[in-house]
């Protein structure tokens, strides 16, 4: 029993090492090298200017973690997992998400105890930028950081955007606006699934300008503004995906009230979030995401009942929650 218990504790304690193996291999281009054909550690080290010793140790660890497959001749190939999610340019690549986690999120998590002690964002400690007034001033503290954050978030929707948007049939909503929709990947999916609807994205001016510069979303229009202060466009359906989890309850209700006022009669709001199980005890993935929200934003993940109550305070009712499977759930409330 003691041996087993020790093993469990050490596996938990060393969890960060496994994350770092993944992050380092991604950053150093190991999976991209393996995608060009079977390769050995010396070749990767030579090509990328790495130490042969370190590269060998890193690739061995990757193989043990299921991220590379080691051949009998010392060569390595990608596994199905790394081919799908870790190679640049793969349709399901989560490269930007992982690089963001490896950089900013990892640094913020280094201050988890401080975050719990103080109950607030740890941006100031982690990167030297205060996030008290507006978490997004810190999240978007440089152009590179804004770009990595936004591109990372978009990657999720290649995986589950269609599922989330078909959980409820949205075809009856003629005008759909994705509020806080970032660079428009989810909106683009909505435009593809519901060709009879006009789809737009409303986000901060800098995010919109960058999305337009990068040629985002055919079939989607963009509008820049502040969803707490600017005039919102009228719509039949507002989508709020991973927005409420950034904010405290009072700000969420304020935003939902603004959306309700801008909704056309018969309109609705589609909330897309990772919803905690009733009572809030799980799933683990969502509880950990909630701690990330503590460290990087003013929000947290919530149960369906908590979303229902906030929506009701904003005058939105007929709450329905559906879990399509996968990382995100869909909830609909009506004006
Ligand atoms: C966590 S991200 C979610 C992005 C996107 N909905 C998704 O799920 O991929 C939150 C989004 O809210 C936007 N946002 C934050 N504060 C905002 C504000 N005051 N007005 C408009 N958009 C804002 C951010 O720029 C960002 O795109």
CA distance 98 to 66: 17
| Model pLDDT, residue 132 | 72
Task: Give me the pLDDT at residue 45, please.
Answer: 97
In three-state secondary structure terms, 119 is: coil
Residues of the chain with CATH 3.40.50.150: 155-334
CATH architecture of the domain with residue range 2-93: Orthogonal Bundle (1.10)
Q: Is the distance from the beta carbon of residue 153 to the nearest atom of ligand 1 less than 6 Å?
A: yes
The Cα–Cα gap between 165 and 193 comes to: 8
Number of alpha helices (DSSP H) and beta strands (DSSP E) in the chain: 17, 9
What is the pLDDT at residue 30?
Answer: 97
Rg of the Cα trace of the chain? 22
pLDDT of residue 134: 86
Topology, domain 155-334: Rossmann fold (3.40.50)
pLDDT of residue 91: 95
Looking at the chain, which residues constitute the CATH 1.10.10.10 domain(s)? Answer: 2-93
| Contacting residues for 328 by C-beta, under 8 A, at least 6 apart | 156, 160, 164, 241, 242, 272, 273, 274
CA–CA dist 94, 157 (Å, integer): 10
This prediction's pTM: 0.95
190 lines ligand 1 (CB under 6 A): no
Q: Which of 101, 150, 156, 182 to mutate to test the pocket of ligand 1 (most atoms within 8 A of CB)?
A: 182
CA of residue 332 to ligand 1 center, whole Å:
19
Q: What is the pLDDT of residue 59?
A: 98
| Cα of 243 from ligand 1 centre, angstroms | 6
Q: Is 143 in the pocket of ligand 1 (CB under 6 A)?
A: no
Note if 245 is an active site residue: yes
Which of 283, 228, 279, 217 is closest to 257 using CA atoms?
A: 228
Instruction: Choose one of 203, 256, 274 to mutate for the ligand 1 pocket test, by most ligand atoms within 8 angstroms of C-beta.
Output: 203
User: Ligand 1 centre and the CA of 180: distance in Å?
Assistant: 4
Block means of pLDDT (10 residues each) for the chain, length 335 residues?
A: 91 96 98 94 95 98 98 95 97 97 97 97 90 85 94 95 98 98 96 97 96 83 97 98 98 98 97 97 97 96 98 98 96 97
Only one residue has tokens 């930007």, namely 96
């Amino acid at each position: 029993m003691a041996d087993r218990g020790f093993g469990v504790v050490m596996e938990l304690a060393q969890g960060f090492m496994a994350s770092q193996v993944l992050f380092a291999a991604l950053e150093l281009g190991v999976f991209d090298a393996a995608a060009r054909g079977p390769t050995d550690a010396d070749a990767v080290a030579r090509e990328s200017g790495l130490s042969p010793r370190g590269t060998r140790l890193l690739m061995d660890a990757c193989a043990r973690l299921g991220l590379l497959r080691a051949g009998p001749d010392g060569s390595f190939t990608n596994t199905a997992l790394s081919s799908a999610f870790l190679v640049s340019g793969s349709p399901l690549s989560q490269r930007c998400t992982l690089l963001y986690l490896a950089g900013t999120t990892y640094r913020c998590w280094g201050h988890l105890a401080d975050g719990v002690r103080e109950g607030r964002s740890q941006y100031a400690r982690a990167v030297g930028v205060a996030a008290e007034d507006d978490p997004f001033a810190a999240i978007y503290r440089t152009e590179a950081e804004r770009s990595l954050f936004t591109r990372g978030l978009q990657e999720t929707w290649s995986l589950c955007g269609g599922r989330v948007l078909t959980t409820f049939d949205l075809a009856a909503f003629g005008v759909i606006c994705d509020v806080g929709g970032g660079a428009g990947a989810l909106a683009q999916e909505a435009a593809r699934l519901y060709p009879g609807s006009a789809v737009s994205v409303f986000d901060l001016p800098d995010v919109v300008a960058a999305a337009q510069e990068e040629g985002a979303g055919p079939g989607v229009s963009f509008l820049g503004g502040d969803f707490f202060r600017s005039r919102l466009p009228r719509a039949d359906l507002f989508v709020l995906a991973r927005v409420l989890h950034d904010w405290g309850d009072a700000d969420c209700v304020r935003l939902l009230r603004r959306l309700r006022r801008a909704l056309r009669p018969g309109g609705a709001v589609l909330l897309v979030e990772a919803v905690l199980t009733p009572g809030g005890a799980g799933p683990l993935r969502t509880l950990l995401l909630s701690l990330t929200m503590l460290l990087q934003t003013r929000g947290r993940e919530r149960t369906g009942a908590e979303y229902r109550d906030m929506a009701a305070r904003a005058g939105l009712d007929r709450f329905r929650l559906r879990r399509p499977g996968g990382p995100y759930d869909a909830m609909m409330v009506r004006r």
